[in-house]
Each structure stands twice: as structure tokens, then as C-alpha cells.
């Protein structure tokens, strides 16, 4: 929708910013005349440094001769979020506040229903609104509704992928179909960040109050699920994210190729919670991994395998969610997988468990129970175990639709990195074969790739993993080798 202000001439520098591949113009128009600031509406990218969306806001503000203020709205009913997620979020917001002050820009946190974004824009007399892209259904709906209601220009920036998703314009069946397209675009976008310095200081802080982050941001949220509490395995925020990244690329990346599929070891980056909350971005991590190779701290092979996960699989997941309306339910199944699962829907199950039994890790499978406990107690599950975890839910649930629903429910409830494209794509891979190929026909699974505990025991020390996560090794009742 074009603003009535298009009769005024768009400044060339602003037009160039709006034309960047990362920028989506949600509401067209010349920045409001007489506006006193540019507002960056922070949501998905919760960081101040190396944030492409904030950098666009700063560049636009510099061209307009205005300051930038970052606005964050805490809502009591973010889809599927609970106390665990809000606690991690608040830890990260404290880092944002500290880093914003260091960078010389404003930062205001407010809560619903005391304030709204639209009320804040009017209060500070914003000339332009910049926000984050997010492919998930509900945040995208918010952006579309907001764009129709605003009176000022509104852009969003694809800040949490290396290559902007709209460049591809589609999803891909398999990762190896996607890789050549991704590889062709990577040199344009996997580059060091420019140092964008705000030229005008935000000076309205005394008149514009925000929520004090020394207080609990969930105070008074009566409908919030507080039964899933915080974990001490991760600390939210950019500062913890950067430390975890440095430890990984300096000390652990060199062994990534050999240890990444060994859940009993610390062979993965464990950065997914920070990526989900935008405490750190994939460009920052990828550049650090490449530097580790240049500095002799890791091999190129190790870095390539890691970047295939960080960029290849992760950005394929974003495309899947962006272009698949049913990304969080079994209707996303490809025709071949739907057909085979329906054909095997009446197959006898070795065990049948309820969702509550699964949630409490009350199955006959010690390995699966260990993975479930790792997620429930620690807020994170090893990447390799997520595949096995999803496959067994398909085996035990009443039908594939219930299996998908249960996996999403548990993942989104307990994982710090839940409610994320990566999680939905991973569940779709495990249960309905998305981004995979047909396998050999088996009971229950049909042509969906199966996994068994006995087979995993030949690949890594499953007994050690079970012990690490509160179980007793032995007594495994899963003799089939797939």
C-alpha cells in the first residue's frame, strides 16, 4: 500500500536502503516530515551489534538527521511461550540495554497492555519504522496487519539468515538441490559487517519511560504457563552467546566432523537457543568459524560440515516455513510420504504411549527417555537425538498426524530453541520425510527413514548418554537394526 506522501520526493539515499535485498517494504512512503526519530521494532533479532536490521535503521536515521530508538514490546501471550522462554528473553534484554547504551542509541521496553507499538510511534513522533522479518505464521500476520494500520513507512529486514530468503523465492525438496543456489549467493552476503555509527544521539530518554528490567517482565501475566521453569544450562543474551561461540570455534570446532554425531560428547556448538532469540546471528558465527580455519584452529572440513548445518540446513528450514502453510502439522507431508504413511497407519505398534507418558519419559526405550529428559531438564536436546526422538514418536503415536502434533507440542514447550523454523523442519524430516528421500518399506514407517536404539548403539556410546541424562543403561528392548 502506498502512502499519500509519495508526492514528496523520496531521498535517493533512503530509496537505496529500501532497495537492498534484505529489506522488505511493508508500507511504502516517504519518511514523515517533522518526524523526530527512526524506530527499530526489535523482535526476532535481539541484539545490538552485528544486526543488519538495526544497521539499516541507523543508516536511514543518519540520512534523515535523526536519532534511533530501539523498541521492544513484551506481550503476555506470545504463541506457545512459557516462563522458561521469558526468563531467557529477559536475560537477553539486559544485554541489549547495556549494548544500546554503549552504541549510543535509545532502548525502550514496554509491556502489553500498558502500551502498544502504535502508541509508542505516536509518542516519539517516529518518521520511519524498521522491523525484523520472521517467517513463522503469527509474527508474519502481525506485520501484515500493522502495515495496513500505520501512517508512516514500515520496512522489515531479514536479519537472521546469511542470504535473504526472498532471493530464492521458493523452497527446495532436498538440501543438495538448495546448495548450489545458496553457494552462488553466499559471497555477496557472508561478508564482515560495516561499522555503522549513529550520528545523532537519542535524547528523549528522560521523557519516554520504559519498563525496568530489574523487575520481572512477566509480573502480572496471569495466563502465562509457569510450570515450565528456567534452566541453568544456558544464560540468555548476546554476551553469553559470544562466549559460547568463541569457546566453540577456538576449542571444539576442530573436532566437529568426528564428534558432532556423538550425543555423549560436547561436539556441537549449542548455539541454537541464541540463534532462535537472535542474541547472535549466523553471519557472526560463520565468519568466526572461517577465521578459526585461517588461524589454524580448525580444519576446512570441520568448518564446512558445521556451516552446512548453520547455513545450509537452517536456511532451508526458513524457506520451508516461509513457503509451506502447514509447516507445523502433518499436512506438510509430500505426496509420496503421505501415501506410504496412510498405507501403514493400521500397522501394529510395538508400544502405544499417551502424550503425558512421553512428556514424563515413561517409555520402555531408555535412549528415548534420556533424550526427553535432556530436553525437559536442560531446555535443549542434542541435534542427533532430535532425529531419533521424532522417529520414535511416529512409531508410538496413534497416527502420523498425532505424532507430528505431539512432537511440536513437546518441542515448543521445553526447548529454548523451540517455536522455530529449524524445529519444525526437523520434525517434518523425522516424521513425514520432508527434505529426505523415500527409504526401504518397513512396518509403521513405510518409506519414511526409520531409526532404532540398537542401530544407534553401533554409532555412539548410547549407554554413556543415557547415564548422563538420568537413566540406567541396559535393558534396551529394540533389537531391529535399520
Q: Radius of gyration (Cα) for the chain, nearest Å?
A: 23
Which band of pLDDT confidence, cut at 50, 70 and 90, is reported for residue 317? very high
- At residue 378, the pLDDT reads 97
CATH 1.10.579.10 in the chain, residues? 330-468
Which band of pLDDT confidence, cut at 50, 70 and 90, is reported for residue 213? very high
Residue 171, sorted as left (phi over 0), alpha (psi -120 to 50) or beta, turns out to be beta
Mean pLDDT of 193-198: 95
Collect all residues with Cβ–Cβ distance below 8 Å to 480 and sequence separation of at least 6: 452, 454, 455
- Which residues are bridge partners to 156 per DSSP? 24, 131
Mean pLDDT of 444-456: 97
- At residue 205, the pLDDT reads 61
- At residue 84, the pLDDT reads 98
Mean pLDDT of 173-178: 98
DSSP 8-state symbol, 205: T
* H-helix segments, 130-278: 137-149, 175-189, 238-247, 256-259, 272-276
- At residue 266, the pLDDT reads 85
pTM across the whole model? 0.95
Positive or negative: CA dihedral 298, 436, 450, 379: positive
pLDDT of 203 higher than 90: no
pLDDT of 5 higher than 50: no
In this prediction, what percent of the chain has a pLDDT beyond 90?
93
- At residue 471, the pLDDT reads 81
Mean pLDDT of 15-38: 96
Which band of pLDDT confidence, cut at 50, 70 and 90, is reported for residue 8? low
Mean pLDDT of 15-23: 97
- At residue 196, the pLDDT reads 95
Q: Judge: domain 4-159, CATH 3.40.50.620.
A: yes
What's 165-194+233-323's CATH class?
mainly alpha
pLDDT digits (tens, 9 = 90+) for 409-442: 999 999 999 999 999 999 999 999 999 999 999 9
pLDDT digits (tens, 9 = 90+) for 216-229: 999 999 999 999 99
Query: Mean pLDDT for the chain?
Result: 94
- How many other CB atoms sit within 10 Å of the CB of residue 220? 9
Which band of pLDDT confidence, cut at 50, 70 and 90, is reported for residue 480? very low
Mean pLDDT of 154-169: 98
Mean pLDDT of 155-169: 97
Which band of pLDDT confidence, cut at 50, 70 and 90, is reported for residue 204? low
CATH 1.25.40.80 in the chain, residues? 165-194+233-323
pLDDT digits (tens, 9 = 90+) for 68-112: 999 999 999 999 999 999 999 999 999 999 999 999 999 999 999
Collect all residues with Cβ–Cβ distance below 8 Å to 216 and sequence separation of at least 6: 90
Mean pLDDT of 367-384: 98
pLDDT of 477 higher than 90: no
Is 294 exposed, middle or buried, given 0-12, 13-18 or 19+ CB atoms closer than 10 A?
Answer: exposed
Residue 472, sorted as left (phi over 0), alpha (psi -120 to 50) or beta, turns out to be beta
Domain made up of 330-468: CATH architecture: Orthogonal Bundle (1.10)
Q: How far apart are CA 273 and CA 357, in angstroms?
A: 26
Amino acid at each position: 500500500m502506498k502512502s499519500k506522501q509519495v508526492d514528496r520526493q523520496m531521498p535517493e539515499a533512503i530509496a537505496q536502503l529500501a532497495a537492498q535485498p534484505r529489506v522488505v517494504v511493508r508500507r511504502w512512503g516517504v519518511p514523515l516530515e517533522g518526524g523526530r526519530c527512526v524506530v527499530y521494532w526489535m523482535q526476532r533479532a535481539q541484539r545490538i551489534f552485528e544486526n543488519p536490521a538495526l544497521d539499516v535503521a541507523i543508516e536511514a536515521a543518519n540520512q534523515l538527521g535523526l536519532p534511533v530508538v530501539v523498541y521492544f514490546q513484551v506481550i503476555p501471550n506470545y504463541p506457545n511461550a512459557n516462563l522458561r522462554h521469558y526468563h531467557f528473553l529477559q536475560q537477553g534484554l539486559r544485554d541489549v540495554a547495556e549494548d544500546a547504551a554503549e552504541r549510543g542509541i535509545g532502548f525502550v521496553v514496554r509491556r502489553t497492555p500498558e502500551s502498544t507499538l502504535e502508541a509508542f510511534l505516536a509518542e516519539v513522533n517516529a518518521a520511519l519504522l524498521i522491523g525484523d522479518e520472521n517467517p513463522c505464521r503469527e509474527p508474519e500476520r502481525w506485520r501484515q496487519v500493522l502495515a495496513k494500520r500505520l501512517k508512516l513507512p514500515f520496512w522489515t529486514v531479514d536479519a537472521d539468515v546469511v542470504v535473504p530468503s526472498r532471493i530464492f523465492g521458493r523452497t527446495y525438496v532436498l538440501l543438495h538441490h538448495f546448495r548450489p543456489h545458496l553457494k552462488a549467493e553466499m559471497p555477496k552476503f557472508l561478508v564482515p559487517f560495516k561499522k555503522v555509527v549513529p550520528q545523532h544521539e537519542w535524547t528523549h530518554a528522560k521523557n519516554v519511560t520504559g519498563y525496568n528490567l530489574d523487575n520481572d517482565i512477566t509480573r502480572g501475566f496471569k495466563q502465562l504457563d509457569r510450570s515450565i521453569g528456567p534452566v541453568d544450562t544456558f544464560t540468555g543474551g548476546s554476551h553469553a552467546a559470544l562466549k559460547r561461540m568463541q569457546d566453540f570455534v577456538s576449542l571444539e570446532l576442530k573436532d566437529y566432523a568426528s564428534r558432532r554425531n556423538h550425543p555423549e560428547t560436547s561436539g556441537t556448538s549449542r548455539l541454537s537457543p541464541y540463534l532462535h532469540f537472535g542474541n547472535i546471528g549466523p553471519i557472526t558465527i560463520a565468519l568466526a568459524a572461517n577465521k578459526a580455519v585461517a588461524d589454524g584452529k580448525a580444519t576446512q572440513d570441520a568448518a564446512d560440515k558445521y556451516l552446512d548445518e548453520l547455513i545450509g540446513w537452517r536456511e532451508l528450514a526458513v524457506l520451508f516455513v516461509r513457503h509451506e502453510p502447514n509447516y507445523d502439522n502433518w499436512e506438510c507431508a509430500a505426496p509420496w510420504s503421505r501415501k506410504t504413511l496412510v498405507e501403514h497407519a493400521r500397522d501394529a505398534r510395538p508400544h502405544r504411549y499417551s502424550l503425558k507418558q512421553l512428556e514424563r519419559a515413561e517409555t520402555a526405550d531408555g535412549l528415548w527417555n534420556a533424550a526427553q529428559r535432556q530436553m525437559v531438564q536442560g531446555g535443549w536436546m542434542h541435534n542427533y537425538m532430535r532425529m531419533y526422538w521424532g522417529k520414535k514418536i511416529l512409531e508410538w503415536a496413534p497416527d502420523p498426524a498425532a505424532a507430528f502434533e505431539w512432537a511440536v507440542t513437546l518441542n515448543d514447550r521445553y526447548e529454548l530453541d523451540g517455536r522455530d523454523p529449524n524445529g519444525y523442519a526437523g520434525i517434518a524430516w523425522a516424521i513425514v520425510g520432508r527434505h529426505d528421500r523415500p527409504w526401504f518399506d518397513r512396518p509403521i514407517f513405510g518409506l519414511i527413514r526409520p531409526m532404532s536404539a540398537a542401530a544407534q548403539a553401533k554409532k555412539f556410546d548410547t549407554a554413556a548418554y543415557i547415564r548422563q541424562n538420568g537413566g540406567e543403561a541396559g535393558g534396551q528392548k529394540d533389537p531391529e537394526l535399520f
